[in-house]
Structure 1
Amino acid sequence: MRGSGIGQGGGPLVRLRRRCGWEHNELRRRIDRVQRLIGLGLLLLLIGLAPPLALWAGTWSYQAGSGAERAERAHRHQVVATVVSTGGIGSSGDRYIHETVQAQWPGADGSIRTGTLPSWKKAEVGAHRTIWIDAKGEPTVRPRPHSRTITDAAYAATAAVLGVATPVLLAYVLVRRRCDRHRDALWEADWARMDAAGQR
């Protein structure tokens, strides 16, 4: 019949609650109520620990990333490199060979540095390209972007939540298995009593 609820499985939350043994049912035994209380306690523990730990981990990661941003921006600078010769070959392993160019650029102290840079399309003698250099005047990568700091903070917060949720979930699985074994034993005892009563 429509609206009777018979044969209806309910929504995903209802099915999850039933699977976890948290729904109210007059036919449930004491072991079922114990499991439900333990599950509720573990859920409250997770809710109480996960948010503050995620906030702490995300904040710590964000502050560390922001410090790295400031340090790299303070010691890395953009300069213009000028190609002085082309056709150089630099190898990286036995199979991968990268074409390079010889270039000059001003160091942090103003002196002219000469070195090898990866080639780029239409790189000819006299061509210019902006590069990043460190405090020693050596070519380096661009400073850490702020987007990476935000991403790392999000990863840290997620890892904190998973770090708390994993042992809590494992504890509930162990409790569930222990309760299932106890329930099976109770069912066996009930069937044995029914068989004995039937024989009498």
Structure 2
Amino acid sequence: MSPLKSRHLKARDPMRAGSWGRVRSDNPLKRGVDVLETRLRFLLCAVVVACASVLGVTNGMAALHHEQSVVEQQRATRHAVRAEILRDAAKSAPWTDESGRSERVPVPIRWTAGDGSHATAQAQAPPGAERGQHMTVWLDRSGRITSAPSDGHDVWATAVTGGLSSAAVALGCGALAGLLLRIACDRRRAAGWEAEWSRVEPEWRRRI
């Protein structure tokens, strides 16, 4: 291969021309502000990705530890009992959840308290539940019906949601910063074009 051809291939090598230290600027229409904008965009993308990753993992882990402590507290203050349904439940509920399934319907129930006495209350049972069937209900320390403690799926869902929300906020801030960068560079380009036109336009007028 001739030396001239070798130098020509090296000049066209994208790996050599695409380094951080020398963004390709051989385009005669590319201005200094264009090169600066390209470098700042690369830097902004790297910062946003790093911040989104750190914030997502950090807040996700914080939400995980918080939910785990909440679950431990719920399990320490709630206990389950077997209760008897005292009346047939309605066959269907007048409302449904997001999946289209009928919501639970209220029925009277009875269970045996810790001191051996019988307690009654209203609870939510599946539609169509019959009298005499048993169901599990959760009670707090005062003996009132409450919700069941959160399970592992709920804990991880909350943690993932918190992490993704934090990452989304970081990405949104990065997108806003990129938009502001573009606006600032466009203004700089417009000012440069106006200055050049004010210098060239009188000469064109004379030629015309």
Inter-partner Cα distance in structure 2 for 1:128 and 1:66: 30
Tell me the equivalent position of 1:184: 190
Asked if the contact 1:62/1:149 (under 8 Å) is kept, the reply is yes
Inter-partner Cα distance in structure 2 for 1:146 and 1:108: 28
Tell me the equivalent position of 2:130: 123
Kindly indicate whether residue 111 of structure 2 is the aligned counterpart of residue 105 of structure 1. yes
Seen in structure 2, the aligned counterparts of structure 1 residues 106 and 44 have a Cα distance that, compared at 3 Å, is same
How big is the shift at 1:69?
1.6
Query: What residue ranges of structure 2 are gaps of 5+ in the alignment?
Result: 1-22, 90-103
The 5 A counterparts of 1:1-200 are: 24-26=24-26, 27=28, 28-85=30-87, 100-108=106-114, 110-118=116-124, 120-124=127-131, 126-198=132-204, 199-200=206-207
How big is the shift at 1:122?
4.2
Higher strand proportion: 1
Query: What residue ranges of structure 1 are gaps of 5+ in the alignment?
Result: 1-22, 88-97
Residue-by-residue CA offset, 1:9-68 (whole Å, 9 max, x unaligned): xxxxxxxxxxxxxx7342311111222232223223223322222111011000111112
- Matching residue's letter, 1:121: G
Inter-partner Cα distance in structure 1 for 2:117 and 2:61: 41
Asked if the contact 2:87/2:130 (under 8 Å) is kept, the reply is no
**CA RMSD for the aligned pairs?**
2.6
Tell me the equivalent position of 1:19: none
TM-score (norm: length of structure 1) = 0.71
Secondary structure of the equivalent of 1:121?
Answer: coil
Inter-partner Cα distance in structure 2 for 1:52 and 1:102: 50
Secondary structure of the equivalent of 2:186?
Answer: helix
State percent identity of aligned pairs. Answer: 25
Asked if the contact 1:108/1:137 (under 8 Å) is kept, the reply is no
TM-score (norm: length of structure 2) = 0.69
